[in-house]
Chains A and B, each alone.
Chain A
Amino acid sequence: MGLDFNQETFRNDFTFRNSPKAIRRFPFPFHEDGYMYSVNLEPHVPGPKGSVFEHTFDVDEHYVAEMRDRALVLAEDPLRCQSLPHMTLAGWDLLELIMTSKARDYPHWFELHKQGDKWHWINKPLEIEQKFTFGDETTLPYGPMEYITRQTQGDFSLQDHRDDNLWMDAGMITTQADWSLDFDVGMSFHEWHAPVPLAHEKGIFDRALKFLLNLQLGAPVRRFNWTMTVDPLLDTSPETYPQWGPTRASLTPETIGKRMHLRVELQTLIRLPRSNAIAFPIRCYLIKFDELVTVPKWGRRLHRVIRDLPEELAVYKGFARNRPMMLDYLAQYDDGTPTSPGIWPD
């Protein structure tokens, strides 16, 4: 396992890094030299081999370290994982989806053996082996959603579909861009999106909800979201804001390349079969500015996106204070030449 997964931390000494291979496959979220909100959903179909889209759930070199970090967050604050009582069935749906996908896509790391409802799960990277009865919570050490999301990169919210709306009634949220499951749990689609600027006026959430209520079994969709994070912290939560918020004031021109990270969320939306709920995995990818600019196209494009972004969005995403310093850094990598279409490196 040692060769497959990085030994690294997302706190204290922050030894997180991306290998050259991880940089090349980073999901850079800007397909053109500008950015504005849109309902940018596309089918979540398998993408190019080796890309983060190759499989339903991407497992990369950060897997083991990310799972260790999640366990630390949960030990300090168990409310980062909550499931209202009616969401247990959706939890089983999610467990089945993840186990089936990983055993199919990464057979050298994961195995799932089924005999009726007697299941046997093997997770080699985390050295876990579990025999349990599908549908019987008492045979697992945690509820089904918590059990499987302690072994899966990315945050997860499970949304109940009722009264022509979606309700955030369960989730495992430890790698979030400054929002709180404990605050949002039980809210409807428009309630939990209320703080987002500009998008409401454009009717984006009305259209997105209508689309999602019609999301079909077997036809998942995906979109990107992004922000900036100082130091490679997975857990930037409101609950711990006093610990990480002030670090944004400590950047210098000398440290920005190493400490400022583009934070990309690959969000997928998947209809679950038994519960008719919707799973919303939010997978966080981090990349240092110093790593990002090793791809010339991305350095040029990120400079243009940040330069032209409306002020409200910079404020909402929490980097308005550092925008001038970011632009000074990124301008060094923008020679003004055109960029090619699409997100991938040239």
Chain B
Amino acid sequence: MSMSHNKIPVTVAEVVTLNPLIKRFRFVRRDGASLPAFSGGAHVVVEMDDHGTRRMNPYSLMSAPSDTTGYEISVRRDDVGRGGSLYLHQHVKVGDDLVISAPVNLFGLDLQAKKHLMLAGGIGITPFIAQMALLSAMAGRFELHYAARNPGLAAYADDLRARYGDRVQLYYDDQDQKIALAPLLAGQPLGTHLYVCGPKGMIDWVRRTATDMGWPQQCVHYEEFLAPPTGKPFQVELAASQKTITVGPDQSLLEAIEAAGVDAPYLCRGGACGQCETDVVSCDGHIQHHDHWLSDEEKATGHKIMPCVSRFEGRSLVLDR
């Protein structure tokens, strides 16, 4: 499915520096019309022309889902990454034109839940801000546990405390505060759904603990977007399009496919949704699987690759694309 039909031209209406690491951007439609309402947990893909390299990074929407006058995202600067967040931080200013995708939700609330228990780590707070706005408007029951390095980096913590009171609990690493996860999970009413968004280690810890305590899989939701890792350049042959492309050191395979003018499917661009799954025709070398979509068995067979985050090292790789 090509995404090209479903893009929204926007202008940057506001840029706010929240702390040394995080900036908030507000987008409005270039033609002045309303944006679609969205569901809490949805993200948009922001397209950037980073000095000739086309970047397309997913960011969770954090404005109120009912606010159709603009969308807001918060971006954490990643100084060692490939540059998408750095580009937004250093180059994007009020009045700039950008293109974003329509909202996509891979981290939706289960509205059957009797209670929503949310665990956020760092910049993982953003989808929960939109979800809490929605639940609050619907008189839904929720509770947020938000861990950050220190109060200075805990974006929106004061706002959220002011808005939701005791339903928001804060934890600071620098003060050796840690979510007491096992007692927290043990004390939840039947019908609670658990949501976690944050660094990989936190997601793994929460999922493992919930599983060990017998939580049903359907009640545990998580969202982890990987930034495409950098690496050595490599060559790939695209059999269906009869093209050979070179993937640069800070370019993803998906970006290289797109740069060659080949239309490839995608949704999350972070190894989570499965949309860009591609068949491997032949492989002489080693596929560096970075996604959490393919099973370990699938990764071992080497018959499939997720080009949004995975790379290759070796003599030749031919894909059915």
Residues of chain A whose beta carbon lies under 8 Å from any beta carbon of chain B: 43, 86-87, 89, 93, 96, 135, 160-163, 211, 214, 216-219, 273-276
Inter-chain contact A217/B104, CB cutoff 8 Å: yes
Inter-chain contact B111/A274, CB cutoff 8 Å: no
Chain B binding surface SS class:
loop
Inter-chain contact A216/B104, CB cutoff 8 Å: yes
- Complex Cα distance, B220 from A163, in Å, reads 10
B202 at the A/B interface (Cβ < 8 Å)? no
- Complex Cα distance, B137 from A161, in Å, reads 21
Which residues of A are found within 8 Å of B110, using beta-carbon distances?
A: 162
Known interface pairs A89-B138, A160-B111; A275-B6 also in contact (CB < 8 Å)? no
Known contacts A43-B5, A89-B111, then 18 further A-B pairs from the complex at CB < 8 Å, ordered by chain A residue = A87-B111, A96-B37, A135-B137, A160-B111, A162-B110, A162-B218, A214-B1, A214-B267, A217-B6, A217-B36, A217-B103, A217-B104, A218-B36, A219-B5, A274-B37, A275-B39, A276-B39, A276-B108
Which residues of B are found within 8 Å of A273, using beta-carbon distances?
A: 36-39, 65, 103
Which residues of A are found within 8 Å of B111, using beta-carbon distances?
A: 86-87, 89, 160, 275
B275 at the A/B interface (Cβ < 8 Å)? yes
- Contact flags (1/0) for B1-19 with A, using CB distance below 8 Å? 1010110000000000000
Report the tally of A-B residue pairs with Cβ distances under 8 A.
57
B170 at the A/B interface (Cβ < 8 Å)? no
Q: Which of A43, A93, A218, A276 contacts B42 (CB 8 A)?
A: A276
Residues of chain B whose beta carbon lies under 8 Å from any beta carbon of chain A: 1, 3, 5-6, 36-39, 42, 65-66, 102-105, 108, 110-112, 134, 137-138, 218, 267, 275
Which residues of B are found within 8 Å of A163, using beta-carbon distances?
A: 218
- Complex Cα distance, B112 from A87, in Å, reads 9
Q: Which of B6, B38, B138, B218 contacts A219 (CB 8 A)?
A: B6
- Complex Cα distance, B105 from A162, in Å, reads 11
Inter-chain contact B66/A86, CB cutoff 8 Å: no
Inter-chain contact B102/A216, CB cutoff 8 Å: yes
Which residues of B are found within 8 Å of A274, using beta-carbon distances?
A: 37-39, 65-66, 134
Which residues of B are found within 8 Å of A86, using beta-carbon distances?
A: 111-112
- Complex Cα distance, B37 from A92, in Å, reads 12
Inter-chain contact A217/B102, CB cutoff 8 Å: yes
Which residues of A are found within 8 Å of B108, using beta-carbon distances?
A: 161-162, 276
Nearest opposing residue in chain A for B37, CB measure: A273
How far apart are B103's CB and chain A's nearest CB, in angstroms?
6
- Complex Cα distance, B102 from A131, in Å, reads 31
How far apart are B320's CB and chain A's nearest CB, in angstroms?
18
- Complex Cα distance, B130 from A274, in Å, reads 11
- Complex Cα distance, B107 from A238, in Å, reads 38
- Complex Cα distance, B104 from A218, in Å, reads 11
Which residues of A are found within 8 Å of B36, using beta-carbon distances?
A: 217-218, 273
Which residues of A are found within 8 Å of B42, using beta-carbon distances?
A: 276
- Complex Cα distance, B111 from A298, in Å, reads 46
A-B contact pairs, 27 of them (CB 8 A): A43-B5, A86-B111, A86-B112, A87-B111, A161-B108, A162-B108, A162-B110, A211-B1, A216-B102, A216-B104, A217-B36, A217-B38, A217-B102, A217-B103, A218-B6, A218-B36, A273-B37, A273-B38, A273-B39, A273-B65, A273-B103, A274-B37, A274-B65, A274-B66, A276-B42, A276-B105, A276-B108
- Complex Cα distance, B137 from A274, in Å, reads 12
Nearest opposing residue in chain B for A161, CB measure: B108
Which residues of B are found within 8 Å of A276, using beta-carbon distances?
A: 39, 42, 105, 108
Which residues of A are found within 8 Å of B6, using beta-carbon distances?
A: 216-219
Nearest opposing residue in chain A for B107, CB measure: A276
Which residues of A are found within 8 Å of B105, using beta-carbon distances?
A: 276
- Complex Cα distance, B112 from A275, in Å, reads 12
Nearest opposing residue in chain B for A96, CB measure: B37
Inter-chain contact B112/A162, CB cutoff 8 Å: yes
Which residues of B are found within 8 Å of A216, using beta-carbon distances?
A: 1, 3, 6, 102, 104
How far apart are B63's CB and chain A's nearest CB, in angstroms?
13
Nearest opposing residue in chain A for B66, CB measure: A274
- Complex Cα distance, B104 from A304, in Å, reads 43
The 6 closest A-B pairs by CB, nearest first: A86-B111, A276-B39, A273-B37, A217-B102, A276-B108, A276-B105
Nearest opposing residue in chain A for B1, CB measure: A214
Nearest opposing residue in chain B for A217, CB measure: B102
Nearest opposing residue in chain B for A216, CB measure: B6
Nearest opposing residue in chain A for B5, CB measure: A219
- Complex Cα distance, B38 from A96, in Å, reads 13
Nearest opposing residue in chain A for B267, CB measure: A214
